Amino acid sequence: MASRQPREYKHFRVSYPDKHIVQVTINRPDKLNCINKETSAEIAQVWDELDGDESLWVGIITGVGRAFCTGADLHEWNEMNRAGVVNSMAAPGLAGLPRRSGKKPIIAAVNGICMGGGFEMVANCDVVIAAASAIFSLPEVKRGIVPVAGCLPRLTRTLGLQRTMDLVLTGRTVEAKTLHDWGLVSRLVPAGQDVAQAAVEVAREMCRNSPDALIVGRLGVRMSWEYGNVEESVSALEHSWYPKLMAGANFAEGIRAFTEKRAPKWLDSKL
């Protein structure tokens, strides 16, 4: 694999903290990392790179400064409203995340304030790691807006009806620990520790496993989350994806490595 160089964009940067990992760091701290339409499209292209590059297995998104992301740039929205332009909520949504289906896992490393569209992005990430000091809210109701980019059904599935209603209808702020207790935040990072680095360590842990299994395992979990019928999701995974997993070189390699009592030597996924 050719060495990759970090890339700087106007409001974010792309880095490669390990050979199979790509990280997006939102870098607009003066605006609490809100995302305008241009930046949103550029970040979405990074996730296309993740899914299309066989040597990339896991993605990470995080922020610089006090905020993870405070959602869309409402100053831009205001200008659009004045011009009579309707803002699209079509998939995959802000920064390519709220309605992304995708192929490979993305970890949200929530370093600080996570509001509005930022919360919608996190609600659809595969793993959420948050600083203990991070705070979350869906304040749209206070501005005459509703978070319709994808988080409402997803949060209802994850948190339950009443907890989601509480967040959406009050617009109140909750701590990372509350969302950890409710099941959205996978891991809490204590004060003084770097949440992005913690996410890299989790990504490295994932990358010690078969990249084929990462793709198919993630898909199986998401199908069970998205589908209304458990047996339907099990059958779809069994018939459509398990044969592809078995046909890949990594399936045989994992079993062979176990019998030979050695670490497996994974190949980049062809799925």
> Which of 42, 120, 205, 232 is the catalytic position?
120
140 an active-site residue? yes
Distance CA 234, CA 73 (A): 40
Strands across the sheet containing 106-110 = 7-8, 12-18, 21-26, 58-63, 106-110, 127-131, 187-189
Residues near 135 by beta carbon (within 8 Å), at least 6 away in sequence? 112, 113, 114, 173, 174, 175, 176
Distance CA 18, CA 270 (A): 20
Residue pair 218/126 in contact by the 8 Å Cβ criterion = yes
> Which of 8, 42, 76, 140 is the catalytic position?
140
38 an active-site residue? no
Long-range contacts formed by 225-234: CB under 8 A, 24+ apart = 225/154, 225/157
Residue pair 271/247 in contact by the 8 Å Cβ criterion = no
The residues that are catalytic are 120, 140
